[in-house]
Amino acid sequence: MSEKPTDWTTGAEAIVYQGCAACGALQYFHRSFCVACGAKDPVEKRASGTGTVYATSLVCRAATPETRAHVPYNIVLVDASEGFRLMAHGDNDLSIGDKVTARFVPFAGRLVPYFERQE
Amino acid sequence: MSFITGVGLTSFGKHEASSSLDLMSQAAQLAISDAGLKRGEIDGVLCGYSTVSPHIMLATVFAEHFGIKPAYAHAVQVGGATGLAMTMLAHHLVEAGIVKHVLVVGGENRLTGQSRDASILALAQVGHPDYEVPLGPTIPAYYGLVASRYMHEYGVTQEDLAEFAVLMRAHALTHPGAQFHDAISVADVMASKPVAMPLKLLDCCPVSDGGAAFVISRERTGPAGVRVRGCAQAHTHQHITAAPALSELGAEMAIAKAKQAAGVAISDVRYAAVYDSFTITLAMLLEDLGLAGRGEAAARVRSGHFGRDGAMPLNTHGGLLSYGHCGVGGAMAHLVETHLQMTGRAGNRQVRDASIALLHGDGGVLSSHVSMFLEQVR
């Protein structure tokens, strides 16, 4: 099966990843097979939305009218607590190593994950 | 054995009214003439892509436009690593005896042929269509992410990165074909407009029109003796989200294999031509390749190590950062400059010794790597 997951990429307030029942590997980009061992139909799991900031880049120059309306916006790579990495938006003052939690915000006509520093 | 028998390079910047095919043709003719060949003697063509004029068969479109009927022709697409990937393929094609003279060509009117927004948007598509592109990243943002992490792990500062922009500009000032002719300082880089922090405008290469070409041949065609000593590639990922740790990127794999293939060590290298789409790209690659210790490349810039008269002259034409970046032809300019240095034709930019050169290209977001050693043959 390679149907699109119900997650932020399809408009739902969720971050979804896959876990392989055969070898235990995790993957974030949705596929109908495990990239580590090739086993079919990895299990879809909903992520908790917590993680640690791996990298950040504050975008100040955007390329489309839709995204330009949002500048500056912070593109972040977050290592999710479950053990996979994802790209998302986040508070402009996030630092590498910050513990963060996701919510979902509108961006350029879409819903995107947005990470805030944990209290 | 394979020899780089001719090179051609247009100026970079604005070429109003020149199409991608025009720029490719100009560079191709320069390279073929430089090799002392007639265009009919070219029996292989490898070309890159053009974001302005995409085509599913660009090599034959080019061959027809240029007026040749090669026995072997196709396009190659490896992002910024395309030029060296084509050179590697040409090297193997002539070594295998499939063709005698391969024309490797890239050119694009990327600056005047489309809006800057269109260029930025086209290039951002190297991101994942579902998981990255909807977030509105740009190519500078992908590299900005890498820069933030690299700075965090190795203590590199924005001022350190600025040194690379200043060096490339200083080199470009000595080349009439470069896009930029005004000197810049570290303070200028620091004060330039933020693009995707920590990268500012002067940390980023420009968008240019231009073309570059080489001829790779089985035998020498004249006095120029520059041969491909050995080369290798590595491809670890496409998208930055899926990239391995900084210590496991492809540059280190490619250089290790290339050293083995060429039978040379970094200590043998006298000239370096390294991909420099952003200041962080150059800083990281120099350190990945072993041309500087971790976090030490900027100090080596400050000490003059990478200058024309330094121990390891680097991108003496000004690199992507200041000669310019017209897509595939952009990084090919590094090889053209290397060839001029190795054949003693670099004029006021000539270095003392370019007997063994290391070239490195990077495509995507540090996704695809090609390392290559060239050797001067007397």
Closest chain B C-alpha to A51 CA, distance in angstroms: 15
pLDDT tens track for A87-119: 999 999 999 999 999 999 999 999 999 999 997
Q: Is B244 on the interface with A (CB under 8 A)?
A: no
Q: How much is the pLDDT for A2?
A: 52
Closest chain B C-alpha to A56 CA, distance in angstroms: 5
Taking contacts as CB-CB distances below 8 angstroms, the residues of chain B near A76 are 145
Find the CB nearest B145 among A57, A70, A73.
Answer: A57
Find the CB nearest A60 among B120, B197, B242.
Answer: B197
Closest chain B C-alpha to A11 CA, distance in angstroms: 11
Q: Is B302 exposed, middle or buried (0-12, 13-18, 19+ CB in 10 A)?
A: middle
Taking contacts as CB-CB distances below 8 angstroms, the residues of chain A near B196 are 57-61, 75
Domain B3-113+208-217 fold: Peroxisomal Thiolase; Chain A, domain 1 (3.40.47)
Size of interface A-B (CB pairs under 8 A): 109
Q: Is A85 on the interface with B (CB under 8 A)?
A: yes
Closest chain B C-alpha to A36 CA, distance in angstroms: 13
List the beta strands (DSSP E) in chain A. Answer: 16-19, 26-27, 43-46, 50-59, 73-80, 85-90, 99-107, 110-117
Q: Are A67 and B197 within 8 A, CB to CB? A: no
Taking contacts as CB-CB distances below 8 angstroms, the residues of chain B near A59 are 136-138, 140-141, 144, 196
Q: Is A55 on the interface with B (CB under 8 A)?
A: yes
Closest chain A C-alpha to B144 CA, distance in angstroms: 5
**CA nearest neighbour of B204 among B181, B180, B240, B236:** B180
Taking contacts as CB-CB distances below 8 angstroms, the residues of chain A near B120 are 63
Q: Is A107 on the interface with B (CB under 8 A)?
A: yes
**What are the boundaries of each domain within chain B?**
3-113+208-217
pLDDT tens track for B139-191: 999 999 999 999 999 999 999 999 999 999 999 999 999 999 999 999 999 99
Provide the greatest CA pair distance for chain B. 54
Taking contacts as CB-CB distances below 8 angstroms, the residues of chain B near A55 are 145-146, 148-149, 152
pLDDT tens track for A33-62: 999 999 999 999 999 999 999 999 999 999
Q: Is A59 on the interface with B (CB under 8 A)?
A: yes
Tokens of A22: 């055969």
Q: Rounded to whole angstroms, how far apart are CA atoms B239 and B219?
A: 40
Task: Find the residue in A nearest to B129 (Cα).
Answer: A9
Number of neighbours of residue A23 by Cβ within 10 angstroms: 12
**What are the boundaries of each domain within chain A?**
1-46, 50-117
Q: Are A59 and B146 within 8 A, CB to CB? A: no
Q: Is A83 on the interface with B (CB under 8 A)?
A: no
* pLDDT digit string (tens) for chain B, length 378 residues: 899 999 999 999 999 999 999 999 999 999 999 999 999 999 999 999 999 999 999 999 999 999 999 999 999 999 999 999 999 999 999 999 999 999 999 999 999 998 878 887 777 778 999 999 999 999 999 999 999 999 999 999 999 999 999 999 999 999 999 999 999 999 999 999 999 999 999 999 999 999 999 999 999 999 879 999 999 999 999 999 999 999 999 999 999 999 999 999 999 999 999 999 999 999 999 999 999 999 999 999 999 999 999 999 999 999 999 999 999 999 999 999 999 999 999 999 999 999 999 999 999 999 999 999 999 998
Coil, helix or strand for A67? helix
Q: Are A107 and B132 within 8 A, CB to CB? A: no
Q: Is A68 on the interface with B (CB under 8 A)?
A: no
Task: Find the residue in B nearest to A93 (Cα).
Answer: B197
**Ramachandran bin of B32, using left for φ above 0, alpha for ψ from -120 to 50, beta for the remaining angles:** alpha
Q: Are A29 and B138 within 8 A, CB to CB? A: no
Q: Are B130 and A29 within 8 A, CB to CB? A: yes
Q: Are B135 and A107 within 8 A, CB to CB? A: yes
Is the pLDDT at A1 greater than 60? The verdict is: no
Q: Three-state SS across B28-82?
A: HHHHHHHCCCCHHHCCEEEECCCCCCCCCCHHHHHHHHHCCCCCEEEECCECECH
User: Which of B135, B150, B201, B237 to substitute to test the interface with A, most A CBs within 10 Å?
Assistant: B135
